[in-house]
Amino acid sequence: MGISVYAKKDFSLSPSDLVVDETVFHNANGYLGVRSNFEEGYPDGYNSIRGTYVNGFYDFSYMGQAEKLYGLTEAKQIMLNICDTQSIKISFEGEKFSMFSGEIISRERLLRMKDGVTERNVVWRSPKGREVSIQFVRMASFEILPLFLIQVRIRPLNFSGRIRIESGHRGDVRNFFDPSDPRVAAENIQYLTVTEAEYRDGASSILAKTSKSGLTICSHVKNAISVQAERSTVQEEGEITEMITMDVKQGETITLDKFTVICDSIRYADPKIAARDALQRALNLGIEALFEKQRDYLESLGVYDAVEINGDDELDLSVHYNLYQLIQSVSKDLHGNIAAKGLSGEGYEGHYFWDTEMYLQPFFTLTIPALSKNLIRYRYSILDHARENARILGHKKGAAYPWRTIMGQECSGHYPSGSAQYHISGDVAYAVTAYYLATGDLDLIEECGAEIVFETARLWLDVGNYYKGKFHINEVTGPDEYTCLVNNNYYTNLIARHNLRWAVKFHELLQAAGCGQAVLQKIGLRPSELVEFARASDNMYLPYDEELGINPQDDSFLQKKPWDLSTITEAEKPLLMHYHPMYLYRHMICKQADTVLAHFILEDEQDEPTIRKSFEFYETVTTHDSSLSTCIFSVVASKLGFSEKAYRYFGDSAKLDLFNTHKNTKDGIHTANMGGTYMAIVYGFGGLRIKETGLSLQPSLPSAWTSYRFRFSYRGSLLEVSVDRSMVMAKLLAGPAQRVTIFKMVYELSDHLTISI
């Protein structure tokens, strides 16, 4: 069992540290997320980002283009801050509790990952000498997804007296904005309008409507107190506050349980009725049962068994933190996905990127396949929008998935680094294929996966063209956003080839199984198109430089002016914040892994000497300004036997958010990097590969560790791999026996086997 509690004692009260802790200790369950703000609030001047979010709930925002060229995006979707129900202000004989007045005798914050809760414990001495112990426990329920719970336990230590609690419920809220940072919203806009606010049957209810998308959301709040108390309410425009007053004796503990339930019109026909029903269900279950079900849910997922590292407790904690955040971030239904910041903050405005397919879905495919299936079904649910997007881009057939989106339409106004990233359609198809290879689930392929792969394959035939017998793809942008609108980006061409090949293979698999006719008829896929898929994939042009023995990132990359990385100061990073895009585009410099990523996910497309030379070359030109980068360099370094480099890159990736190494965790966690951390362990150090040829492992042990282990699902079986200095042990924990290749030797794994290193 890995470390499952993150404790921060005597935490800093500086504004810059607290806003980071708001992210680090946030609560989420894949449906809703709440930043970890102090319930009692902050002094004036503290730039708290106070937010509550629902996955997939959005409004539209106008995004005007300076020059209105055809097809440029002029509206984007925004994930909304929907309400504030965190507010709990406590007074003792008229003295208001605040972390910034009186004396803090002790303080700590805890994230109890095994229990699925966060905790803040404070012993406070008021300016007049009253001492009190206060505990805040917060939970976003996995049992009742619309439920967020705050439990407050108050115990006077040296006095008896009157305690007053003001529990707030506010619907008139706005999103955070920062005009100086392109990674967050630049506009201060009122997206939600409160249409109804009432207090009835001991609970407050606020209904709000979006300004443009026509969606509604209802928040319901109920306060339950453990002792007899006087209650009253104050209602202002868009806000309801309940006053709870009681007399408490010295040493006596009183408990306030604050239930918040939030329901939206995307998932519920009547959000108000749904919120009332969910609240009643929560009240019927009771607090202790809700806490128990939270623990049971997390235990059932086996997330703490997914990976364990021995020999570096800090790193083990960081890894388990990352995996826990993935569980908090992933949508549990078909109406959401995984935002770039999860549900922890407003960075990137709640948009979903290709990060999901290439960095996040591998974790779910290997550990919780049902959630990976949901992610594929979400992409299928927006396939019509992807078809429409392809038409906007000028293609008569096929589907072009957007670079960033919530409900399916493109949200990026900067097309050179946005819509031009055609590889995203190939990435979505790749994730479908990876899921199939790991699960053998042909039913999902028939249901929706094949249609995604067929329609994205169609796109490439129109995007590319033949020149001197080779299929070229021009004017696209690869994963590296410091090089835009290029010809024959290596990654893009390779992912297109994979997409085209698997369109043909899925057709053959479905035909062999006696199914698949429905999708062929639905989209009108002709046999001649399948022939063209195979022809284009077989003749795909892949850039290669004979002199350097590498795959250039694109046709022009090696012609560009070099930029010595040693001359770049930390103050200049990320470069996109300090240099004009055109300046970046003209230089031989990368923001993130691009060709190196291609060498990882499709390693059999190139020989190892070329991969080695490419890796060494791209090390010299990559800034790793993107959090998506170092984890991939770690995986490929492991493959090539660069163990020290692999470990260094891995450490940079694993500790990014828990220790705020990129200095922007305040805007939210980096979910893709968290998935990348998992890949760096399992695909990197573990050497796990799942291909058409089957399952293989090539484990290595970093010198800083004494051992590690990981579990994963494969074709209906649960397997565990343990690695230490002397041996590799593979166990079949459940399911049918599996054939596995370890260190290039084939074994039949029916129980367990041990291989000496």
**CB neighbour class for 622 (10 Å; exposed up to 12, middle 13-18, buried from 19):** buried
486 falls within a domain: no
* Cβ-based neighbour number of residue 613 at 10 Å: 15
Give the neighbor-by-neighbor strand order of the sheet with 103-112.
Answer: 5-9, 103-112, 117-125, 131-140, 147-156, 254-264, 216-225, 203-210, 192-200
Count Cβ atoms within 10 A of the Cβ of residue 569 and give its class: 0-12 exposed, 13-18 middle, 19 or more buried: exposed
Q: How far apart are CA 586 and CA 484, in angstroms?
A: 10
Rounded to whole angstroms, how far apart are CA atoms 613 and 676? 23
With respect to residue 225, please indicate whether it lies within any of the assigned structural domains: yes
> How confident is the model over 388-443, as pLDDT tens digits?
999 999 999 999 999 999 999 999 999 999 999 999 999 999 999 999 999 999 99
Q: Quote the radius of gyration of the chain (alpha carbons, Å).
A: 27
Please indicate, yes or no, if residue 262 is contained in any of the structural domains: yes
Is there a domain that residue 573 lies in?
A: no
Please list, in sequence order, all residues whose beta carbon lies within 8 angstroms of the beta carbon of residue 2, skipping any fewer than 6 positions away. Answer: 304, 307, 308, 309, 316, 317, 319, 320
**Residue 184 scores a pLDDT above 60:** no
Predicted confidence (pLDDT) per residue in 252-264, tens digit: 999 999 999 999 9
The reply to whether 211 falls in a domain is yes
CA separation for the pair 59, 55 (Å, rounded): 12
pLDDT tens readout for residues 325-344 = 999 999 999 999 999 999 99
CA-CA distances (angstroms) from residue 329 to 219, 341, 395, 398, 752?
A: 20, 8, 34, 30, 34
Give me the pLDDT at residue 15, please.
94
Catalytic annotation present for 481: yes
Residue with tokens 């995986």: 635
Count of CB atoms situated within 10 Å of the CB of 100: 12
List C-alpha distances in Å: 420 to 389, 475, 479, 597.
Answer: 12, 7, 10, 18
Structure tokens at 555: 């046709």
The overall longest dimension of the chain from CA atoms, in Å, is: 89
- Residue 182 pLDDT: 59
Residue 734, CA distances (Å) to 555, 711, 714, 737, 754 in order: 49, 11, 10, 9, 18
Q: Which residues on neighbouring strands pair with residue 153, listed in sequence order?
A: 135, 255
> Does residue 746 fall inside a structural domain?
no
**pLDDT at position 136:** 98
- What mean pLDDT is predicted for residues 456-467? 98
What is the structure's pLDDT at 576? Answer: 93
Closest to 615 in 3D by CA, of 677, 553, 691, 535: 553
Q: Could you give phi then psi for residue 281, rounded to 5 degrees?
A: -65, -40
Burial label, 305 (beta-carbon count in 10 A; 0-12, 13-18, 19+): middle
Residue in the structure block whose two tokens are 């619907």: 171
DSSP state of 272: H
What is the Cα–Cα distance from 80 to 171, expressed in whole angstroms? 12
DSSP H/E element including 458: helix 450-463
Instruction: Report the pLDDT value the prediction gives residue 661, as an integer from 0 to 100.
Output: 83
For residue 71, give the nearest of 404, 415, 408, 383 by alpha carbon: 415
Give the pairing type, strands 561-562 and 587-588: parallel
Tokens for 643, please give them: 């163990």
Stated length of the chain: 757
User: What gap in Å lies between CA 166 and CA 358, rounded to an integer?
Assistant: 46
Mean pLDDT value across residues 85-106: 98
Contact in structure between 376 and 429 (CB atoms under 8 Å): no
pLDDT of residue 180: 63
pLDDT at 183: 54
pLDDT band at 580 (very low <50, low <70, confident <90, very high): very high
Q: Is 565 part of any domain?
A: no
CA–CA distances in Å: residue 657 to residues 177, 667, 674:
21, 11, 9
Phi, psi of 687 (to 5 degrees): 65, 25
Q: Residue 663: which pLDDT band, with cuts at 50, 70 and 90?
A: confident
> Does residue 69 surpass a pLDDT of 70?
yes
pTM for the whole structure? 0.96
What long-range pairs does 540-544 form, CB within 8 A, spacing at least 24?
Answer: 540/470, 540/471, 540/493, 540/494, 540/496, 540/497, 540/500, 541/467, 541/470, 541/471, 541/472, 541/473, 541/488, 541/493, 542/488, 542/490, 542/493, 542/494, 542/497, 542/605, 543/488, 543/490, 543/493, 544/610
Which of 126, 114, 148, 151 lies closest to 136, judged by CA?
Answer: 151
Cis peptide before 527 (omega within 30 of 0): no
How many structural domains compose the chain? 1
676 in Cβ contact with 651 (< 8 Å): no
> Which of the following is catalytic: 95, 242, 349, 481?
481
- The CATH number of whichever domain residue 238 belongs to comes to 2.70.98.40
Locate the DSSP E strands across 26-130: 27-28, 32-34, 52-54, 58-62, 75-79, 88-92, 95-96, 103-112, 117-125
The answer to the question of residue 79 being in a domain is yes
Q: Give the C-alpha separation, 226 to 290, whole Å.
A: 17
* Strand, coil or helix: 195: strand
The residue to which tokens 């791209």 are assigned: 618
The pLDDT mean for the chain works out to 96
- Tokens of residue 584, six digits: 């970046």
Per the structure, the complete domain to which residue 100 belongs is given by 10-301
| Contact in structure between 170 and 239 (CB atoms under 8 Å) | yes
Report residue 24 as tokens.
């680090």
Q: Which two tokens stand for residue 753?
A: 């086997």
How far from 375 is each of 169, 266, 380, 409, CA to CA, in Å?
Answer: 33, 17, 9, 17
* pLDDT score of 652 more than 90: no
What end-to-end distance do the CA atoms of the chain give, in Å? 24
φ, ψ (nearest 5 deg) of residue 596: -60, -35
List C-alpha distances in Å: 143 to 31, 116, 275, 296: 11, 11, 15, 9
Q: Distance between CA atoms of 755 and 248, rounded to whole angstroms? A: 65
Query: Binning pLDDT at 50, 70 and 90, where does residue 2 land?
Result: low
Rounded CA-CA distance 258/266 in Å is 25
Q: How would you classify the pairing of strands 689-691 and 727-734?
A: unpaired
